[in-house]
Structure 1
C-alpha cells in the first residue's frame, strides 16, 4: 500500500508536470505540422501574348493561320504540407512542400500549310506545372487569446515543367522541358487557435518569378489557402 509520503511525492511531481505543461502552452513554443489547400494563380500568363507566339510559330514555319480560337486557365487547385518549430508566440520557422497544380493554354483553328496540302485543322497546347520545397520564417502578432496576424518570408526551391504539343491534320509533335530555380516568396495571414493544439489559418502568398527565364519562362504565382495545423 502506498505510504502518505510516497503519495504526496507523486502528487507534487504531477503538479509540477502540469505546471510545466501549462507554461509551455502559454509560451507558445513547440513543434507543429499541418496541411493547406486553396487556389494558385499565375499572375504573368497572358492569353494575347500566347496567341501571338502561336501565330508567329505557325507562320514562321510556312503555315498561314486562317482561323482560330484559344482558352487560358491560369489558376488551379493547390495544396501544401508543412512542419515547423515555434520558438515563441511571436516567431517560428517552417519547412514544407507546395504544389501549384497546372496552368493550361489551348488553341485550335485552321491553317493553310506550305505546299500542295489543302487547309487542315491545327491545335496547340501547353501545360505549365510547378512545385517544390519551401523554407521560411514566420512572425506573428497575437490578437487576444485566440487570434493572430502573421507574415512570412522565405525561399521556394521550384521544379517547373512545360509540356507542349502541336498538330496539323494527322501530323503531331510533343515535347517537354523543365528547370529548377530558387525563388523568393512572402505572405500575410490570420490564424485562429483552438485549445492548445489545433490552429486554422487563412493565408495569401506571392511567389516571385517562379521558373527560369531562359528555359521555362517566369511568372509570379499568387496563392490563397486555408490551412489546419496541430501542435505537439
Structure 2
C-alpha cells in the first residue's frame, strides 16, 4: 500500500510538472502508435525465467515533454524453478510519459501509471487453467531516437507489479507519429 501512495504522488508530480512545461512548449502535439518485442523476466519466489514478449501501444503527445500512453503487453510463458505452475501473463496499461530531449533526434523518457493484469496459470494434472487478474502500478525508463518526424526507435525497460511478483520487460519498439 505504501508503494501505491508513493507511486501516486510521483505520478501526480510528473503530470503537474509536465503541464507546467507544456504551457511553455506546444511544438509537437499529436497521436502516435507502435509495437515492440523483447524479453520478459521474473526472478522472485518460485519463478526464475524469461520469455519473448510483445507489446502494442498508442498515445497522445501533448508537447515535446509530456504524453499519455495506453499499451498492451504479452509476457509469454514463465516457468517455475522446480515443479509448479507456469505463468502466462498479459497486461493493459495507462501511463503518463515525461520526455527529456537531449538533441533534436535523441531523448530519454520515464513513464508511470497503472495496469490491469491477467494471469493464466497452468495447473499440473488438470486440463484447464486458473485465471487471476488485478490492478497494480507500472513504471519504466527508455531512450528514443527519431529517424524522421514520423518514425522513432525506442529502447525501454519497464516493471509491471503482478500480485507478489515483479515482471520486468526489456524491449525494442518502433513508434509511428500521425
The verdict on a shared fold, with TM-score over 0.5 as the criterion, is yes
Aligned match of 1:12: none
Aligned match of 1:130: 89
| Matched length | 153
Aligned match of 1:214: none
127-136 vs 83-92, which moves further: 127-136
Ranges of 4+ aligned residues in structure 1 off by more than 3 Å: none
Aligned match of 1:195: 148
In the TM superposition, what are the counterparts of 1:5-20 in structure 2 within 5 Å? none
Distance 1:155 1:130, change over 3 A: same
Unaligned 5+ runs, structure 2: 1-25
Distance (Å, rounded) in 1 between the aligned partners of 2:90 and 2:168: 13
CA contact (8 A) 1:43 1:222 kept: no
Distance (Å, rounded) in 2 between the aligned partners of 1:159 and 1:188: 23
Deviation readout 1:38-87 (Å, 9 max, x if unpaired): 0001131436xxxxxxxxxxxxxxxxxxxxxxxxx611000110100000
Distance (Å, rounded) in 2 between the aligned partners of 1:152 and 1:184: 11
Distance 1:181 1:79, change over 3 A: same
Distance (Å, rounded) in 2 between the aligned partners of 1:43 and 1:192: 30
Question: Rg larger in 1 or in 2?
Answer: 1
RMSD: 1.8
Q: TM-score, normalised by structure 2?
A: 0.80
Aligned match of 1:178: 131
Unaligned 5+ runs, structure 1: 1-25, 48-72, 108-123, 167-172, 212-217
SS of the equivalent of 1:105 reads coil
